[in-house]
Structure formats: C-alpha cells, structure tokens
C-alpha cells in the first residue's frame, strides 16, 4: 500500500503458503516479509533476526544453568519463553529468517547463527525491499521528522544494541543519548538508565545516558579525538582498517549518538559528523539539522525525504522500522539479559531453593492403552515427527500441519482445543482461517491413519470431547514415544531399589532419539523440547550416580552422552570433573574444564561459573580431611 507521500508502507496482511502448514510473517513491503508487532509497530526481518538471536542466547543460557535432580520432576509443560509477548512475532519470524545450517563439526551445531551473517543495525527496507543498515546510509547522519520519528528512533536504538551480540566486542555498537531523550522514548515511569546499571557485565556500558545535550556532544567530541589519536598512532586511515588488524589491544565499535535537534550545538555536531565514515561515528537527530539528510517518517514507517537537505540515498521512499515505547523497553531488557556476566553458579549438591519454595504440582496423568492389543500406530516425537504401523513408516499424504498437530497433542496428553491448536501452528494467520486449516490438518491425519490401518471408525485416532471442546490422541490406537519415556521416568522415581530404578532409567534413555519435534518450524516446539531435554539430562545424571561406585567409566560415558545432547549444561561437566577427581585423573579434570570453556566461549563469550572452577580446583588440589572423600 502506498502512503500519501508516495513511500511504500508495510502491509499487515499475512501471506500463507499453499498446503504446507506454514505461513510467512505478517507484513510484506515490496514483497519482502517484515513483522507487524502487536503494538502496530513494524520491523524488517533483519531486526527480527537480531531479536531471535537474543532469544536463542537466552534459551541457551537457561540450558546452561539447568539443575539435574532426582526424583525427576515429570511435566509436559513447555519452558516459559524468554522473549516478551510484545516481541514473540519478531522472534518467530527472525528464527525462520536465520535458517541455521547445522555443522556436525561444531560444538553447538545449528544452535547459534553465524555472527558474520546479517545486516548490522538493520533499521528498515529500501524501495527495492533490501535491508537498510544504519551504518551505510549516505551523508554525515540522518535527521528524523514526522509523526513516526520517535518510533523510528526507538527501532534504531534497539537495532544498534542488538547488533553483534555473538560477534567480537568491536562489532557491538555503543549508543549515547540524553536522559530526556531516552525518557521521551520509553514508557512513562521507565528508568532512563543504561543496559548495565549494576556494572556487572563483562563488557562496558553500551547504552550511555548523559545529563543533557551539551554533555552528550562533549562525549562525542572526546570519542572523536580518542579514535583519531589511535588511528594516527597505528598509521591506520579508518576504524574499519584498524579493527581488521590483530596486532593491537583496542578495537573500536560503531558509535551512535541520538539527540534532539539543537541549533546551539549544531556547529560542534557538524565537526563530529564530518568524521562519520572514517571513525564510525553515527548521528541520529530527532528533528531538523542543517546539512544533514532529513527523512520524514509517517506513523507506519513510510519514508519521504525532507528536512533541510534531500538525499538520493538507498532509504529514499523506503520504510523504517518503528517501535512503541513499550516495545523499546522490552527490547532493551532482552538485550541486557543476553549480555554475559560472571556467574556464581551452583554445585550438584547445593539445595535447590526454587524447587523447595515452588508449589507442589499435580501428578501428571500419562495416557495408557486399555486394550489387550498394542496400539496399531506408533507416533514418534522425540526426534523428527514420524508415524508408523507394524508394516512400516507412514509417509504418503501426511501434511506438515498434521505432523505439527500430532506433536502438539502428544505434548498435551489431556488434549487441546481447536483454537489452541490453530494459534500454535498458524500464529501469523487470521484466526478464522487458522482454525479452518487446523481442522483440515486433523481430518487429514485421521484419513491417512484410517487408510494405513484399515480402522474406519469415525473420529478414530484423534478423539473430540464436546464437554471440554478438546481434541486428544487415543492411547488405544496411537502409541507415543514421549508418553512411554515419561512413564519410565515416573517408574524410576518410585522404584524401591537401584537396579529397578536403573532399568527404568535406561529404558527412558533408549526412547530419546532426539529433541522433541526436531525439524518442526514452530517457536513453541523449542520450548517444549527444552522441557524434555531437561528430563533426559536428569535421567543420565541419575544413571551416572548409580553406576559410579562400581563402574566409574560407565558413569562418565553416560554423562558424556548427555553432554552430546546438551553441550553447554554446566552441571554435567561438574559431575564429570568430580568423577575424574575421585579417580585421581588431574589431566582429565583439566581437559573437561577446557572443553566447557571452549563451548561456553561460543555462547557470547560466556565463561564457566565460579562454582565449576571451585569444583575443578578441589579435584586438582584435594584437601586431606575426612570430608574430602565426599568431594
């Protein structure tokens, strides 16, 4: 749709694909998908991918801290998403955009996107639908006017701070603004502070909030002089050239100054912006600024050149991302949480305070077959979602949406309403259309299963209960590997002796053939997969505890198998280190700690916790006391 200025604005209409069970995100300016947020803000897929990267980092950080306890808490509830509701659509679309290409030779195959890919500081789309980077716009900076200017400024700040989270420090921009500017961009009452008010991040503050415009301009001047001196001392012409060298200590990240218009400080700002390209000093003015390209931004982000000087740059008549005040607050909180900090950590024997204070959950009811014969259909959801009968796999005629519906119903043994199923599988589709597609997916699955088994009972396999308005899998006709694994874990939890417990645990381990719903293109799958990965890690941890007294090497093998399933869970390494220490293998202790260091380094430069280092130190230098045998 064209705006009155002639710029192209984002369309909120989704574009579903044909009969694939998937849909593209909600907005598509110039046929390039963008994301319409609940606040009616709009962002390009480049910014959505940056947000999705932050969500991925937070999910991995949570996996790193997972506590492994016995009895194992059995649940089918998904892990809460680390991404706030306001940015859920961005997370979904961004994860689809990242398209990770798993490399079996990397420690974290497919978990993290390549930090070298993507547009830095993606702030919108040009008229051809290509991503606009703040850092490559022409001119000394940009001045924003119009009703959409505050929303665009918010998106520029978020896009800049979300850039480089997985890269080197030199790729993570620093944003400088004033308290008044940030207060005007945030919701009423939100504190105008940086990302690290407690000064506990590994890196320095990246959102610097100064008292007023004069202080901010002075800060930029000092940064300009500092950067010029470094370039001169190292005989480099630009910051880009400097950062490409590895023979010096200091690398310089992009620097962004966000200020209101200020005629009083215009000359000083011009002196700074004249060095934009060489020193990577970028400036965004809310208002007009003589000599700086001006853009008039409509409420929907559509652009027209304006202000004191027109430009023919790539953003002319394009679309800028816009965020609401609440969106910016949520984005800043997400960025702050994803930053790495020193971790105190916990040891395997530390009390689990969260578990002690949490309310007791109701026992999980896992469906079981009531008939004498085994169910004719086997549904596998631990790994790729598959269907099979006693004669072989069922492949013909199964829709992708049917696989997703079956996986969702497997994750909810008590059933889901059609509305719930539609919302999970088709979150970007109109509600009524999504319900129709979900109903078709269920009908199609029933048809395929009737054909494969010869059971022609109406409503078979996926039953519907009018009283609860829920669909559920029929346990007499469909055997589910997830249910069998959870049943085995429950039996292990209540076993009277260790041999019986070990037998049930090994049965549970044999059923886990991969992450829940592997290959399914839905954000919710990830959070369910995290729950069931926690289950299996606790299974292997308990197996190792039982085996260690008589078979320590088998215990280490069990823990190493778990590490393959989750290479960043810190407690698994702690347990391996303790067993090697008890077996007087200091070199193995060091190798295990080094392996953990290398794998956490990929997680945005994280490091082992203080607790893990304490455990390793105790094993390398045991204290000759009566309690040392319990280390």
Mean confidence (pLDDT) of the chain:
87
CB atoms within 10 A of CB 284: 25
In angstroms, the Cα distances linking 383 to 40, 106, 532 are: 37, 20, 11
Q: Where are the beta strands (DSSP E) in 329-461?
A: 377-380, 386-389, 392-394, 416-417
Quick: pLDDT tens for 322-354: 999 999 999 999 999 999 888 999 999 888 765
Strands 416-417, 462-465: pairing kind? unpaired
pLDDT at 357: 43
In the sheet that holds 319-320, the strands lie side by side as: 131-133, 122-125, 319-320
pLDDT at 111: 66
pLDDT at 380: 98
Strands 42-44, 131-133: pairing kind? unpaired
Q: Is the link from the previous residue into 578 a cis peptide, with omega within 30 of 0?
A: no
Instruction: Considering only CA atoms, give the Rg of the chain.
Output: 28
In angstroms, the Cα distances linking 73 to 362, 492, 505, 532, 550 are: 11, 11, 14, 11, 27
Strands 131-133, 122-125: pairing kind? antiparallel
pLDDT beneath 50: ranges in the chain: 1-32, 100-107, 109, 306-315, 356-361, 628-630
pLDDT at 228: 95
**Non-local CB neighbours of 527 within 8 Å, separated by 6+ positions:** 59, 78, 79, 80, 81
SS3 2: strand
DSSP labels, 126-184: -TTSPEEEGGG-SSS-EEEESTTHHHHHHHHHHHHHTTTTTS-GGGS-EEEEEHHHHHH
Residues 606 and 599: their CA atoms lie apart, in Å, by 9
CB 177 within 8 A of CB 257: yes
In angstroms, the Cα distances linking 7 to 189, 294, 301, 304, 521 are: 35, 15, 9, 6, 33
Strands 42-44, 34-36: pairing kind? antiparallel
Number of H helices, E strands in the chain: 20, 19
CB 478 within 8 A of CB 386: no
Sign of the C-alpha dihedral computed for residues 493, 496, 497 and 501 taken in this order: negative
pLDDT at 247: 72
- Picking from 564, 588, 594, the residue whose alpha carbon sits closest to that of residue 576 is 588
Residues 444 and 77: their CA atoms lie apart, in Å, by 27
State both tokens at 516: 């829940």
CB 551 within 8 A of CB 324: no
In angstroms, the Cα distances linking 563 to 63, 342, 514, 537, 574 are: 12, 22, 13, 8, 11
């Amino acid at each position: 749709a064209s705006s009155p200025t002639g710029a192209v604005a984002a369309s909120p209409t989704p574009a579903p694909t044909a009969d694939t069970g998937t849909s593209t995100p909600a907005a598509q300016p110039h046929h390039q998908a963008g994301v319409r947020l609940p606040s009616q803000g709009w962002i390009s897929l480049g910014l959505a991918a940056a947000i999705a990267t932050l969500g991925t980092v937070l999910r991995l950080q949570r996996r790193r801290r997972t506590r492994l306890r016995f009895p194992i808490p059995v649940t089918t509830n998904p892990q809460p998403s680390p991404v706030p509701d306001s940015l859920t659509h961005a997370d979904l679309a961004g994860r689809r955009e990242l398209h990770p290409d798993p490399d079996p030779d990397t420690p974290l195959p497919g978990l993290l996107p390549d930090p070298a890919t993507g547009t830095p500081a993606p702030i919108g789309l040009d008229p051809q639908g290509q991503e606009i980077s703040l850092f490559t716009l022409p001119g000394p900076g940009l001045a924003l006017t119009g009703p959409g200017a505050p929303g665009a400024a918010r998106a520029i700040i978020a896009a800049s701070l979300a850039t480089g989270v997985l890269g080197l420090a030199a790729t993570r921009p620093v944003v400088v603004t004033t308290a008044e500017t940030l207060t005007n961009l945030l919701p009423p009452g939100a504190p105008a502070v940086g990302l690290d008010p407690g000064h506990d991040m590994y890196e320095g503050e990246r959102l610097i909030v100064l008292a007023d415009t004069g202080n901010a301009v002075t800060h930029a001047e000092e940064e300009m002089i500092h950067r010029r001196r470094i370039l001169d001392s190292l005989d480099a012409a630009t910051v880009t050239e400097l950062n490409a060298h590895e023979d010096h200590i200091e690398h310089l990240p992009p620097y962004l100054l966000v200020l209101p218009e200020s005629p009083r400080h215009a000359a000083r700002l011009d002196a700074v912006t004249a060095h934009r390209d060489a020193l990577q000093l970028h400036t965004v003015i809310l208002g007009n600024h003589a000599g700086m390209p001006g853009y008039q931004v409509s409420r929907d982000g559509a652009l027209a050149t304006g202000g004191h000087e027109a430009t023919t740059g790539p953003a002319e008549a394009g679309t800028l991302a816009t965020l609401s005040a609440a969106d910016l607050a949520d984005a800043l909180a997400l960025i702050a949480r994803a930053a790495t900090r020193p971790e105190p950590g916990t040891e395997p024997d530390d009390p689990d305070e969260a578990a002690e204070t949490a309310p007791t959950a109701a026992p999980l009811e896992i469906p079981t077959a009531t008939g004498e014969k085994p169910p004719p259909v086997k549904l596998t959801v631990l790994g790729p979602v598959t269907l099979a009968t006693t004669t072989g796999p069922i492949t013909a005629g199964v829709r992708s949406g049917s696989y997703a519906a079956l996986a969702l119903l497997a994750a909810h043994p008590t059933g889901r309403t059609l509305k719930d199923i539609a919302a999970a599988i088709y979150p970007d589709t109109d509600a009524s259309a999504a319900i129709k597609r979900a109903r078709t997916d269920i009908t199609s699955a029933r048809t395929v299963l009737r054909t494969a088994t010869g059971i022609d009972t109406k409503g078979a396999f996926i039953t519907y209960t009018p009283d609860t308005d829920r669909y559920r899998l029929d346990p007499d006709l469909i055997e589910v590997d997830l249910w069998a694994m959870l049943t085995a874990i429950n039996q292990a939890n209540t076993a009277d002796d260790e041999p019986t417990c070990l037998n049930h645990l090994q049965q549970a381990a044999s059923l886990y053939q991969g992450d829940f719903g592997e290959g399914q293109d839905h954000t919710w799958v990830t959070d369910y997969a995290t729950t069931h990965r926690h289950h299996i890690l606790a299974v292997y941890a308990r197996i190792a505890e039982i085996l260690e007294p008589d078979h320590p090497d088998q215990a280490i093998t069990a823990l190493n198998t778990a590490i393959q399933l989750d290479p960043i869970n810190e407690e698994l390494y702690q347990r391996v280190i303790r067993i090697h220490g008890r077996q007087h293998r200091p070199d193995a202790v060091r190798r295990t700690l080094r392996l953990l260091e290398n794998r956490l380094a990929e997680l945005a430069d994280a490091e082992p916790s203080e607790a893990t280092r304490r455990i390793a130190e105790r094993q390398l230098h045991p204290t000759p006391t009566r309690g040392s045998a319990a280390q």
